[in-house]
Structure 1
Amino acid sequence: MPLAPSSAAARPPRRAVLAAASVLALMALASCSTEPTATSVPAPESFVEGLDVPWSIAFHDGVALVSERDSGRVLEIAEDGETREVGIIDGVTPGGEGGLLGLAVHDGEVYSYSTARSGNRVERRPLSGAPGDLSLGAATTVIDGIPAAGNHNGGRIAFGPDGMLYVTTGDAGDRESAQDLDSLGGKILRLTPTGGIPDDNPFEGSPVYSYGHRNPQGIAWDAEGRMFATEFGQDTWDELNVIEPGGDYGWPAVEGIAEDSAFIDPVQQWRPDAASPSGMAVTGSDIVIANLRGERLRIVPLDDLTASTEQFTGEFGRLRDVVVGAGGTFWILTNNTDGRGSPAEGDDRILRLGRD
């Protein structure tokens, strides 16, 4: 039987907001409207090139780490843009959308979400050495048994302002699993850093934080502790959601804004050919979203979640991830070598906007 919500619904507390992006980048972000704008923005610098199906960027003491989906490699990025292999995640079974996906760093350990023969899993590994000589240690499993398939694997992991680990999972092609609270598919999970179930999770004894998701791809928080998630729809609507503990986001009964009181509607929706929203970041005033099929960076102002502005549409192909780096720079990860894009010379790459 489905678990009943516990009396204490876990809401992340307030935290200090990410450092504001550089003035150059915020020239675009400060003036969002409901229509695309031609605001003059400096062209991003092609900072790193020659990546093989990259998926996620995470930072360790200011050093960028990048995951490669099919090779299973974790790379560190030097200050001059050169790459070096930190380690290979053992047992990765790439195929379709599966492989080595999300990365996160917490207390000197690298957390990875990857597809193995037995399903998707999250592992943690100690990271040792100095920049230029970093290496990964032995793996400890955080959670496994997450449904896997050729598509809809979720894969984004991040630590919230409450210090807990949040994990997005897809329905792995089993649509009904998204509504099954006994399944890990089609959910956002919340765990302690070692894989325990927090006492204040919304469903007692369960890692499930929210459900009714098809394939959530990005998560981030603002200064007030609000949690946001991007989600791939099927044929009609992709979504931006505000995540509530214990919330049901409707899949597969509904897609996009349904105005059905049984479900939580997205705050914004887009046609898939203009979106496929993936990784996201939050600055002091905006949500910034990387889009795959839509091949654009989308900016949503925090003070009007129904509005958006677009930048770089079609200029760099598919965009998989966006993060805020040192000095408030934006790091944008392209994803044109994954079999669905049209790689240009130098792809895949990290684009950097705003010099620190």
Structure 2
Amino acid sequence: MKHQIVLLLYIYSIITLLSSCNKGNDTILYTIDLGNSKISLSQVAHKLNIPWDLQYDKTNNCIIFSEITGNIKKLDLKTKKISLLKQIPDIFHQRTTGLLGMTLFQPHQQTQYLFISFTTKHNGNIYSNLYRYVYTKNTELKEPKLLLRIPGNTGHNGSRIIIGTDNKVYWATGDAASDNYAQDSTALNGKILRINIDGSIPADNPIAGSYVYAWGFRNIQGLTQAGNNNIYTSEHGDAVEDEINLISPLHNYGWPLIEGRNPPKSNLALSNQRTFSPPIRSWTPVIAPAGLAYYGGSRIPEWRNSLLLTTLKSQSLRILKLSEDGRKVTDESILFKDQLGRLRSVITAPNGDIYFCTSNRDWNPQKGFPKPDDDKIYRLRKTDEVTGSIIRPVKAEQKEAEQNISNYPISGKALYESYCSSCHKPDGKGIPGTFPSLENSTTVKGEKKVLADIILNGLKDKAIKGVKYDTPMPAFNFLKDEEATAIFNYIRTNFNNQSTTISINEFKQTRKN
């Protein structure tokens, strides 16, 4: 009898262990202490293939998400089961191209639609496409309809989509890596486009007969609307000035004539007497902002009336507190920096929960990633319990002051880590075909003025050792001479280069020439 009891207890312990493993996604990883409120972070899905956009289905209480290679999947929030809804045909996926932004339109007792943006390639040309699918109550996708097709590129395709409170589709398009589109109000790239549900041009658009709602954008990666109808975007800058913009019809946001709150790059902008709308928040060094969501609920009172921003380079979730009218960012705090990896998309659910996903298996993995069970979807939820490690948001001013090199002796390594390492990597090895390696590089070790010119003016459409890299290097001529010299010398004396350095006066002369 005793042996039977021992055996039963053993079997019970195995069953309990297996059960806990099956529910591992609900394990609390961190408790975030906000002072009055506490929030739990748990993992709800893992081993995904580069999720890019999350959408909440209020009819079925599930998350619909896109994977960049072409899959649209469903995550049942009750069972945590993941199922494939649709594999989009003819996707062109290379680095940042593929199946990207989505939005669900779920009007009461009317036809539901899923709008998606993805890239295709025909006869050597890349395109960005906006499609509409009928979305059934059983989460089936059918009756695809092409609404718009515009020029695309291997990068800068933007592609976030929302349904506005006016029941119009807003599509954020990238500039397709061209300097000609964003300031051309007749082109559809580098814009916010406003579109009827059926794909036609709204009669009340600010430019009659045009989809264009606002222009002057480089590469929008986040798009959301607040309860007071304010529309916000997050946008990748070049070497400087990643931005959060408050969108107004007919406003020009400056690219490529101006970045952030900096002066115009040339007299062209001034001579034409153009007026540019400045960002309500910007960052230099850049943080690579990605998905953007508005939190207007009261479930987490500390975050009421805030923008939630996921970032790629700084690998963090940022909470941007807004003024009551939503026209200013009054406070910024940072969570999960360098803990979870690259964060791509974020959404809020009606019950106050927040979901966001990682993008660690994409083309530009950061140090220590991807993990074996990447990529993942996480949930933030208010809790009364304290479980797991306790963490607290870090004020942006405090965090960024620690990295503000102007407060310390000029450090080439610190500057390299701030401006260069996300592309060329901390070890200088770069990414084959995208970012050239700096290790034992003939260009780095060669004539000083050549490397100085590349740092100051960037590099585009040039082959290095017979390889033509498909991502241009931006110009870093905004750096002070002391800073540029420090980066120059750090690169020349590291990564197995061991070359002579340059003096500040020599660099000044190179800049002058």
Pick the TM interval, shorter chain: 0.7 to 0.9
**One of 152, 171, 174 as aligned partner of 2:178:** 174
Match of 2:134 in 1: 126
**One of 354, 363, 369 as aligned partner of 1:330:** 354
Aligned residue identity for 1:106:
F
Deviations 1:149-208 (A, max 9, x none): 111000101101111000011111102210011211111111011111111111111101
**Shift of residue 271, structure 1, vs aligned partner:** 2.4
**Shift of residue 42, structure 1, vs aligned partner:** 4.2
3-state SS of 1:80 partner = coil
- Which has a greater percent of strand? 1
Distance in 2 of aligned mates of 1:53 and 1:205: 37
**Shift of residue 258, structure 1, vs aligned partner:** 3.1
Contact 1:268 1:306 in 2 (8 A): no
1:347 lines up with 2:374 in the alignment: yes
Of structures 1 and 2, the one with the larger relative CO (CA 8 A, separation 6+) is 1
Match of 1:164 in 2: 168
Match of 1:221 in 2: 225
Q: CA RMSD in A?
A: 2.1
* Identical residues among aligned pairs (%): 30
- Which has a greater percent of helix? 2
Deviations 1:242-266 (A, max 9, x none): 0010110000011111367720000
Bigger drift between 236-245 and 283-292 goes to 283-292
Contact 1:267 1:306 in 2 (8 A): no
Distance in 2 of aligned mates of 1:348 and 1:129: 28
Distance in 2 of aligned mates of 1:91 and 1:295: 31
Match of 1:51 in 2: 48
Contact 2:39 2:382 in 1 (8 A): no
**Shift of residue 325, structure 1, vs aligned partner:** 2.0
Match of 1:266 in 2: 279
1:64–1:25 CA distance, 2 compared to 1 (3 A)? farther
Match of 2:256 in 1: 252
1:307–1:127 CA distance, 2 compared to 1 (3 A)? same
Deviations 1:222-281 (A, max 9, x none): 1211111110000011000000101100000111113677200001101254x2111111
1:242 lines up with 2:242 in the alignment: no
Aligned residue identity for 1:76:
K
Bigger drift between 156-165 and 339-348 goes to 339-348
Q: How does 1:92-103 map to 2 (within 5 A)?
A: 92-103=91-102
Match of 2:270 in 1: none
Match of 2:214 in 1: 210
Q: How does 1:31-50 map to 2 (within 5 A)?
A: 42-50=39-47
3-state SS of 2:307 partner = strand
Q: TM-score, normalised by structure 1?
A: 0.84
**Shift of residue 41, structure 1, vs aligned partner:** 5.4
**Shift of residue 327, structure 1, vs aligned partner:** 1.8
Contact 1:231 1:277 in 2 (8 A): yes
1:272–1:65 CA distance, 2 compared to 1 (3 A)? farther
**Shift of residue 127, structure 1, vs aligned partner:** 2.1
Distance in 2 of aligned mates of 1:26 and 1:68: 29
Contact 1:112 1:123 in 2 (8 A): yes
Report the number of matched residues: 318
Match of 2:301 in 1: none
**Shift of residue 326, structure 1, vs aligned partner:** 4.6
Gaps of 5+ in 1: 1-23, 32-38
Distance in 2 of aligned mates of 1:25 and 1:210: 40
Aligned residue identity for 2:74:
E
1:302 lines up with 2:322 in the alignment: yes
Match of 1:141 in 2: 146
Match of 2:201 in 1: 197
Distance in 1 of aligned mates of 2:314 and 2:87: 31
Q: TM-score, normalised by structure 2?
A: 0.59
1:163–1:266 CA distance, 2 compared to 1 (3 A)? same
Contact 2:322 2:331 in 1 (8 A): no
Match of 1:283 in 2: 295
Aligned residue identity for 2:355:
W
Gaps of 5+ in 2: 1-29, 107-111, 265-273, 297-304, 384-513
